[in-house]
Structure 1
Amino acid sequence: MANVTLRNVRKTYPGGFEAIKGVNVDVGDGQFCVLVGPSGCGKSTLLRMVAGLETVTGGEIDIGGRIVNQIEPADRDIAMVFQNYALYPHMSVYNNMAYGLRNRGMAEAEIKTRVEEAARVLELTSMLERKPRQLSGGQRQRVAMGRAIVRQPKVFLFDEPLSNLDAKLRIAMRVEIRKLQRRLNTTSIYVTHDQLEAMTLADILVVMNGGQVEQVGNPLAIYEKPATTFVASFIGAPPMNLMATRPEEIRSQLAGSNAADAGILGIRPEDFVITDQTPAGGVALPLTVEAIERVGAETFVYGSREQEEQHVAATPGELPPGEIIVRIPGTEAPAIGAKIRVAAVRAKLHLFSADGRTRLEA
């Protein structure tokens, strides 16, 4: 096992494009770290820098107490799992898993021991003589993981390994990866654009945007106290409702809080209740119901506010202007077109500076 520490890591491409802008992250021994963010945020570039597949423009990458900036990928004691599996189609499962060990000159008896142990852990024993074309997508991904496991590296690196799988298989493989990591207790860094995947896998979550780290921490802590409006809207599905505190309707309800300094109010969909009452110190908003989504155990109510300028844009996937989402348990919901009032208590309010870069205590 090994710590992985990134100190002010930067990557600038020819022409001056700055892909990674001074990233600092510390991944402890045996921790599962997930880098999450939208496409183009730099997460895969950062992972490739740790692997040695991209050069480092500035800063240091430390693996197990050793600065590896100038060390070749093969000598970093890491193993990488890619999203496209990268299996040799003409080789059996056994030979795919053994290939890297043979290239290193390992004795065949030791190779056999390692491959069979990895196959047992991954439930691939009965498939060792099959070719990749005879396997399902999930089985191929397990073979790719097995090829990494047999190397017994200090660090596992995963580059969106589940993105090519269907939704049901992704859930199953997500559970398998986490169980395997806990069993092996190997330091792991995992890249994904899927915030649900990130939340369920991570010990430590790194939210990235535009080549920078927006927030680092425990997934639930980040969900409960996002540091910026970007994090607030990216982590959580549906996203947090964000609105300006300018309107007197909102500002008067926030009297006694940091509303004087806040420019943006955030409320998660599940923290609203449909009620005629305004909670003391909380916020209540009138809505017109525009759409209803019943998904079984819960229902999403989409409502509109009268003034579109009260909405605050945060990310490309944010809510349309003026729209509020309310998540309620069960299937009972108001009719489309109904006028309702929703409220949230003070403890569930999130306040941010006008530029969205600073969280304020509500």
Structure 2
Amino acid sequence: MANVVLRDVRKTYPGGVDAIKGVSFEVADGALCVLVGPSGCGKSTLLRMVAGLETITGGTIDIGGRVVNDVEPADRDIAMVFQNYALYPHMSVYDNMAYGLRNRGATKTEIDARVREAAQILEIGPMLDRKPKQLSGGQRQRVAMGRAIVRHPKVFLFDEPLSNLDAKLRIAMRVEISKLQRRLKTTSIYVTHDQLEAMTLADMLVVMNGGAVEQIGHPLDVYKAPATTFVAAFIGAPPMNLWPLSAAEAAALAGAGAGDGGAILGVRPEDFAVSSDATPPGGLALELTVEAVELVGPEIFVYGRRTDGGTGPTGELIVRIPGQSAPDIGNRLRVVVPRGKLHLFSADGRRRMTIS
């Protein structure tokens, strides 16, 4: 096993297009790091640079104490799992898993032991004689992971491996990957655009946007204290409610640290509470007109607009309430949030501010 260290890694394509803009972070030995962000943010490009499939314009990539900028992919001691499985259709499951080891000159005894060990871990032992066309999507992905496991690499790289599976199977495979990674304790970097997948898998979350890193941290820390409004809106479903504050309103929350440009206030949908009681000290109270309601199992998502005539948000707000009784469309709803649940950002959304 090994740690992976990226130092000021950059990728500039011909014509001056900056795909990766000076990314730096370290993945600890045995940790699972998830790169998450919208399409086009650079996460897959960064993963391919770690794998050696994309050249590096600047910076260094270190795997296990060795700079690998100029090392061929086959010599980096990594194994990659793609979203399209990339299995040989004419080979059995056994041969698909053994193929890479044979190319590296492993003995028949060693190959057989590694393949059967991986098959047992992935619970595909009875399928070793089957061809890929005889397998389900989830089984094929297990074979693709098995092909990586038999290598005993220093690092696993996952490039959106679950994107071709249906929703139910994605959840099941997500759990399996998490259990597998913790059992093998192999350093892993995992790319996804699905923030729920990222939150549930990661030991370390790297949120990317426009080729740069917005925030790095443990998933719950990122969720509870997003560093920017981009992170606040991207991590969480439904997203955080955000609206601008005037300079005076910002000063009331942040004091002298607010500056003169105003600020942006954020509230998670679950942090609102439906209440007719007095506003919590230093907190917030709003009245909404209900425009839409979503029933999601034990929860209700209420979409509404502020109708109490006060300053603050005038667009759509989202409130999550326990799924007991849904309000009717057109009804008015009073919601409150305590001061400790408010999030404050600079007017440009690039900096988290402290509420005094």
Which interval holds the TM-score relative to the shorter structure?
Answer: over 0.9
Q: CA–CA distance in 2 between the matches of 1:255 and 1:185?
A: 43
Aligned to 1:38: 38
Aligned to 2:135: 135
Note closer, same or farther for the CA distance 1:232–1:65 as it changes in structure 2 (3 Å cut). same
Q: What are the equivalent positions in structure 2 for 1:207-356 lying under 5 Å apart?
A: 207-246=207-246, 254=253, 262-276=262-276, 277-305=278-306, 322-356=315-349
Amino acid corresponding to residue 266 of structure 1 in structure 2: G
Q: CA–CA distance in 1 between the matches of 2:154 and 2:4?
A: 10
How far residue 253 of structure 1 moved from its aligned partner, in angstroms, is 7.0
Give CA deviations for 1:128-172 in whole Å, capped at 9, x if unaligned: 000000000000000000000000000000000000000000000
Give CA deviations for 1:9-30 in whole Å, capped at 9, x if unaligned: 0000011100000000100000
Q: What is the TM-score with the length of structure 1 in the denominator?
A: 0.94
Of 328, 342, 357, the match for 2:350 = 357
Aligned to 1:170: 170
Aligned to 2:152: 152
Q: CA–CA distance in 2 between the matches of 1:139 and 1:235?
A: 30
Q: CA–CA distance in 2 between the matches of 1:330 and 1:353?
A: 34
Amino acid corresponding to residue 292 of structure 1 in structure 2: V
Q: CA–CA distance in 1 between the matches of 2:94 and 2:297?
A: 44
Aligned to 1:315: none
CA contact (8 A) 1:245 1:259 kept: no
Deviates more, 1:71-80 or 1:281-290: 281-290
Give CA deviations for 1:13-67 in whole Å, capped at 9, x if unaligned: 0111000000001000000000000000000000000000000000000000000
Give CA deviations for 1:253-296 in whole Å, capped at 9, x if unaligned: 74869656651000000000112321110111121110111112
Q: CA–CA distance in 1 between the matches of 2:84 and 2:209?
A: 24
Q: What are the equivalent positions in structure 2 for 1:111-122 lying under 5 Å apart?
A: 111-122=111-122
Q: Which runs of 4+ in 1 moved over 3 A?
A: 250-262
How far residue 348 of structure 1 moved from its aligned partner, in angstroms, is 0.3
Amino acid corresponding to residue 325 of structure 2 in structure 1: E
Q: CA–CA distance in 2 between the matches of 1:126 and 1:161?
A: 23
Note closer, same or farther for the CA distance 1:340–1:258 as it changes in structure 2 (3 Å cut). farther
CA contact (8 A) 1:204 1:219 kept: yes
How far residue 305 of structure 1 moved from its aligned partner, in angstroms, is 2.5
Give CA deviations for 1:50-105 in whole Å, capped at 9, x if unaligned: 00000000000000000000000000000000000000000000000000011111
Q: CA–CA distance in 2 between the matches of 1:354 and 1:82?
A: 40
Q: CA–CA distance in 1 between the matches of 2:258 and 2:61?
A: 41
Q: CA–CA distance in 1 between the matches of 2:247 and 2:344?
A: 15
Q: What is the TM-score with the length of structure 2 in the denominator?
A: 0.95
CA contact (8 A) 1:296 1:331 kept: no
Q: Percent identity?
A: 74
Q: How many residue pairs were aligned? A: 352
Secondary structure, counterpart of 1:10 in structure 2: strand
